[in-house]
Chain A
Amino acid sequence: MIPDNNSPVSDPLKDLLNPSYLESPPQGFTGRVMDRISTTSPSLISKPVISTGGWVFTLVLVVMVWVIGTHLPSGSQIYEFPQLSSAINTAKSFESLLSGSTISILFFITTAGLLFLLADSAIRKRRIL
């Protein structure tokens, strides 16, 4: 009866009717829709707390602190980069102010905090996908 979209049978109405017969919505339609969305509806998604770039930065920071704290002795000299040596030694002098157990507690709290953020981020991402 009705030729479907793939039918080889020609349907003269198909040539005659086209999207130009559709009426355009009034001017500024999209703007009005966007206004309504921004004023009446809440944000579509809850963005994850930390983006991918944020996680890379945090990871680099954690590894850097760990390397400085555990692998470099106080008073290290990197002759090619005197500014770096100075920064490392400053960090080490702060570290020496704290006892070993305090550092462990701080490390534990930081790790727990990061794990919490990671879980929160993952849950939010799962909710929006």
Chain B
Amino acid sequence: MAYRDDPYYIERIKVHGDNYAFAALVNKHQTMVYNIALRVTRNREDAEEVAQDAFVKLHKSLSEFRGDSKFTTWMYKITMNLALTRIRKKNLFDGSVDDDHFNEPGLDELPHIELKEQKQLIKTAINMLDETDGLLITLFYMDEQSIDDISAITGLSLSNVKVRLFRARKKLGSLLLQQVPKEEIMIY
């Protein structure tokens, strides 16, 4: 489905209270918001809860959005903060974070995965990165966010984002190269 630019929906929601416009906005951004929550919480149930909370919060505070930053930057920041709050609370009560997100094949199982399942392999490799690295890779490569925006979303400094992204990229590359012959996945 082709979506319009965010300001169109935002204006309709602000001026006309148009819930259809908000539903369109949710549809448009749900995947990315869910994946940001997933990278941080590393648990699908928590990720859905966080993503829902993020959209509800967004709806409540949309009138405060002045457009000083990109809408997605603001939205992802809300998502990330909610996800961090959730895992902090969980750590407080459970002492650990659920890891069911990683019930997918581990690295030791990767040799058994056929190359036609390259997509699954890459997904698995991304899931093996730590929260921040996975988040940076997701934002930079899959949502094409700029370094500046990633810095605003994560609260990391520009140089820190660059360094961490560089390391995450290297780590992901080596995870993939460990498992797949170079000629199959041309990463380097």
Contact = CB atoms under 8 A, between A and B. Distances in A.
Does A associate with B in a complex? yes
Interface of A: 1-2, 4-5, 12-14, 16-26, 29-30, 32-34, 36-38, 40-41, 43-45, 47, 127-129
A22 B14 contact: no
B14 A19 contact: no
Among A19, A26, A44, A45, chain B packs the most CB atoms within 10 A around the CB of A44
A33 B142 contact: no
B48 A16 contact: no
B63 A44 contact: yes
B35 A22 contact: yes
Contacts of A30: 23, 26-27, 30
B94 interface: no
A52 B71 CA distance: 29
A13 B177 CA distance: 12
Contacts of A4: 146-147
A41 B56 contact: yes
A45 B16 CA distance: 8
A129 B162 CA distance: 37
B52 A23 contact: no
Among A1, A20, A33, A37, chain B packs the most CB atoms within 10 A around the CB of A33
A45 B60 CA distance: 9
Interface stretch (B74-82, B85-93, B108-116, B164-172): B164-172
B153 interface: no
B63 A17 contact: no
Given A17-B142, A36-B56, A45-B17, A22 B162 contact: no
A29 B187 contact: no
A127 B14 CA distance: 10
A40 B147 contact: no
A37 B144 contact: no
Contacts of B188: 12
Interface of B: 13-17, 19, 22-23, 26-27, 30-32, 34-35, 38, 44, 47-48, 51-52, 55-56, 59-60, 62-63, 119, 122-123, 126, 137-138, 140-144, 146-147, 162-163, 165-166, 169, 172-173, 185-188
Contact of B141 (A13, A25, A40): A13
B30 A43 contact: no
B17 A44 contact: yes
Contacts of A23: 31, 34-35, 38, 44, 123
A41 B162 CA distance: 39
Contacts of B31: 19, 22-25
A33 B26 contact: yes
B185 A18 contact: no
Contacts of A33: 26, 30, 52, 55-56
A34 B26 CA distance: 9
